[in-house]
Structure 1
Amino acid sequence: MIEVKDVEKSFGDAKVLKGITTSFETGKTNLIIGQSGSGKTVLLKSLLGIHTPDKGTIAFDGRIYTDLTDDEKRALRTEIGMVFQGSALFDSMTVEENVGFPLRMFTEKTPAEIKERVNFVIERVKLVDANHKKPSELSGGMQKRVAIARAIVNNPKYLFCDEPNSGLDPKTAIVIDNLIHEITVEYNITTVINTHDMNSVMEIGEKIVFLKNGVLAWEGSKKDIFKTDNEAVTDFVYSSNLFKKIRKAQNKEI
């Protein structure tokens, strides 16, 4: 579990995070949603240690990040996997070289051990006959699968995804959502996803944190969204065509 307590972050005179307190649960897909400028990206970067909060704490299973030594922070980083918005694959490397990169960089595994683990995760994300292909030879959905394989190759406790469905068609986006959810449950990972995709909210939103103007305005599950009378949430959520259709169907049933 990741626990966030009273986190504030400013850049100059602009206060971006205003006392965020929440938790991200292990074995569940935790989503951060909100409009542009709501603070969700700054919160994600704070969780990753890229930004240091001006106030408050972030704890990884009881370990407060700012209290850790440099060696302890480095050790914690080896427990983190990251799926970037644009996949961020190395163009000059093959799929298996991309996936194996964290193992070569951060472990002392032998080449044989690396190859075995790489083949396992490539198979797990259902990439077929892609080991020796370059990213340019892959579709957007396949590139995301490679990014996910690389993120989990070192058995992370924590998985962060920044707009994992960016640039994907709706059908492929659902496949990627479900893959992330399956891996989260299967390996009991604490997964945090920064997204604006309402389809993701409905597919895998087990815990949803909604930010508005740097404040945690609401949190709950995908089921709770339809029951809330929080105006900020309903204004945001029902601006989506998907949710308009769902609300219309619900009204007909009533």
Structure 2
Amino acid sequence: MIEVDNLHKSFGDTHVLKGITTSFEKGKTNLIIGQSGSGKTVFLKCLLGLLTPEEGTISYEGRIYSKLSGDERRDLRQEMGMVFQGSALFDSLTVEGNVMFPLEMFTRQSYAEMKERVDFVLNRVNLVDAHDRYPAEISGGMQKRVAIARAIVMNPKYLFCDEPNSGLDPKTAILIDNLIQEITQEYEITTVVNTHDMNSVMEIGEKIVFLKNGKKEWEGSNKEIFKTDNEAVTNFVYSSDLFKKVRQMYIEERN
């Protein structure tokens, strides 16, 4: 579990995060949603340790990040996996080379041990025949799966995904959502997904944190979000006719 208490982050005179308190649960897909400028990306970077908040704490299984030594922070970062918005694969490396890269950087495993682990995670994301192909030779959806394989190759306790469905067609986006949720539950990972995709909210939003103007405006599950009367949430989620119809269906079922 990741616990956040009264988090503040500013850049000069611009106060971006304004006292966020929440938690992200183990074995669940936790989503951060909100409009552009709401603070989602800054919040995610604070969770990753890439930005230092001025106030508040972030703790990982009771370990408060600001109180950790340099070595302890380095160890914690090795427990984190990250799926970047654009996949961030190395063009000059094969699929196998991309997934093996963290193992080469941070472990002392033999090549045979690394190869076995890479084969396992590529099989887990349904990429059994792509080892020798380069990123430019595979589809966007396959690139996302490679990025997920690389993110979990070190057996992380925490998985962070920044807009994992960006640039994907709806069918492929659903496949990626389902894969993230399956891996989260299978390996009991604390997964945090930064997204604007409302299909993701519907499909995998077991815990949702909605930010507005740097504050936590609302939190709950994908079932609860259809029942909320919070105007900021409903204006954001039901901006399309499709989601208005879904909300109406939930209201009718409740009545």
TM-score w.r.t. the length of structure 1 is: 0.98
| Residues 227, 250 of structure 2: 8 Å contact kept | no
| Cross-structure match for 1:223 | 223
Number of paired residues? 254
- What SS does the aligned partner of 1:222 have? coil
- Equivalent residue for 2:108? 108
2:11 corresponding residue in structure 1: 11
Listed as ranges, the gaps of 5+ residues in structure 2 are none
Cα displacement (A) at 1:250:
4.7
Amino acid at match of 1:223: K
Report Cα offsets for 1:14-50 as digits up to 9, x if no partner. Answer: 1000000000000000000000000011000000011
Counterpart for residue 168 of structure 1: 168
Deviation at residue 251 of structure 1 after TM alignment? 6.2
- For 1:205 and 1:62, locate their aligned partners in 2 and report how far apart those are by CA, in whole Å: 24
Shift of 1:53: 0.5
How far did 1:226 drift?
1.3
Conserved? CA contact 1:198–1:242, under 8 Å: no
Distance 2:110 2:241 in 1: 51
Query: What is the 5 A alignment of 1:58-97?
Result: 58-97=58-97
C-alpha distance in 2, partners of 1:32/1:251? 24
In the alignment, is residue 28 of structure 1 matched against residue 28 of structure 2? Answer: yes
Residue 248 of structure 1 deviates from its aligned partner by 4.5
TM-score by length of 2: 0.97
Matched AA of 1:146 = V
SS where residue 133 of structure 2 aligns?
coil
Q: Deviations over 1:98-123 (max 9, x none)?
A: 00000000011100000000000000
Q: Which amino acid aligns with 1:68?
A: L
Evaluate the alpha carbon distance shift between residue 158 and residue 250 of structure 1 in structure 2; reply closer, same or farther with a 3 A threshold. closer
* Separation in structure 1 between the aligned mates of residue 159 and residue 251 of structure 2, nearest angstrom: 37
Give me the whole-angstrom Cα distance separating, in 1, the residues matched to 2:203 and 2:165: 12
Q: CA deviation at 1:227?
A: 1.2
Cross-structure match for 2:185? 185
2:206 matched to which residue of 1?
Answer: 206
Letter in 1 for 2:237: V
Contact 1:198 1:240 in 2 (8 A): no
Match for 1:107: what amino acid? T
- Would the aligned equivalents of 1:199 and 1:242 in 2 still touch at CA under 8 Å? no
Distance in 2 (alpha carbons) for counterparts of 1:64 and 1:251: 41
Secondary structure in 1 matching 2:246: helix
* Kept in 1: contact 2:227–2:247 (CA 8 A): no
Change (3 A) 1:252 1:57: closer
Counterpart residue identity of residue 51, structure 1 = L
Distance 2:51 2:99 in 1: 26
Alpha-carbon distance in 1 for matches of 2:123, 2:92: 22
Q: RMSD across aligned C-alpha pairs, in angstroms?
A: 1.1
Residue 193 of structure 2 aligns to a residue whose secondary structure is: strand
C-alpha distance in structure 1 between counterparts of 2:178 and 2:98, whole Å: 22
Amino acid in structure 1 at the alignment position of 2:98 = N
